[in-house]
Amino acid sequence: MTVTVRSEFDATTGSVDSEGERIYYEVTGSGSPLVLCHGLGGNHAIWWRQLDAFAAHHTVITWDQRGFGNSTCATGNFGPAPARRDLAAVLDAVCPAEPVHLVGQSLGGWVALGFALAHPNRLRSLVLSTTLAGAAGEETDRFVAPDVPARTRRRHPVLSEAFCATQTELAVLYNQISSFGAKPAAPAVVAQMRADTFPAAALGALAVPTLLIGATDDPYCPPPVMRRVAAAIPAAAFTELPGGHSAYYETPELWNDAVLAFTSQERTGGR
């Protein structure tokens, strides 16, 4: 297996105070701002398979939710709602006057959709990847936390079994990155996700151009359910990629191309 990572894009690191926490972020590249909101298994570093591709077109902002990666969780207050306020603090520090392309994966989708509903004027576009994002109603309880395989050094529950079997080194690396920080216990975060929901009327009023990305073998956010979420958002499109819940990590070329094609439409007014 050969993985090539270019080094031409240097990152600027920083942190911002938010409600008694220090929220860590990195800024890479140049162009219209694009913000990546990680899932429960990730942090800012998990996006290493996206940075080169995105930084060639965008100022890419990656950041850590409370207790993940380099961000603190000293207050014990965590979950999608505080994360949305932290995201606002990061944007106030990095790009206060410029709307962003906002991308949320899994848990990050809860953060991104809620932020879009509360601050639509701060967005150019919204991408929700392999996430129910608090918009699937009673189906959220069924799919957010089904029975999951045990985590081992070479197997993470958010990676497909096929990927872990054929890309063992990358599966191990995912586990290593996922271990960063003293993040809250997964069941407690999942409980926050289940409690964080958005009414159909709010989704129907969302005018931000939106792309939903599903993955064929995702057991947590099945494409048929994600299609129903897309249908509830007037400006939403849906695309389905191969792979599991972490399609951005398993099939990064396809995932990156889908996101960049969408943000390119919004940059040029091609929709």
The DSSP bridge partners found for residue 35 are 61, 102
CATH superfamily for 11-145+182-268 is: Alpha/Beta hydrolase fold, catalytic domain (3.40.50.1820)
Q: Which helix (H) or strand (E) holds 188?
A: helix 186-195
Place of tokens 């890479």: 28
List pLDDT tens digits, range 30-68. Answer: 999 999 999 999 999 999 999 999 999 999 999 999 999
If one compares 268 and 96, the residue with the highest pLDDT of the two is 96
List the beta strands (DSSP E) in 131-250: 210-215, 236-241
Instruction: Confirm if 3 and 28 have CB atoms less than 8 A apart.
Output: no
Burial of residue 127, with CB atoms counted within 10 A of its CB: 0-12 exposed, 13-18 middle, 19 or more buried: buried
For the chain, what is the mean pLDDT? 90
Cβ neighbours of 11 (radius 10 Å): 15
Alpha-carbon distance of 120 to 115, in angstroms, equals 8
List pLDDT tens digits, range 196-209. Answer: 999 999 999 999 99
Instruction: Confirm if 58 and 29 have CB atoms less than 8 A apart.
Output: yes
* pLDDT at residue 4 is higher than 90: no
- What is the model's pTM? 0.93
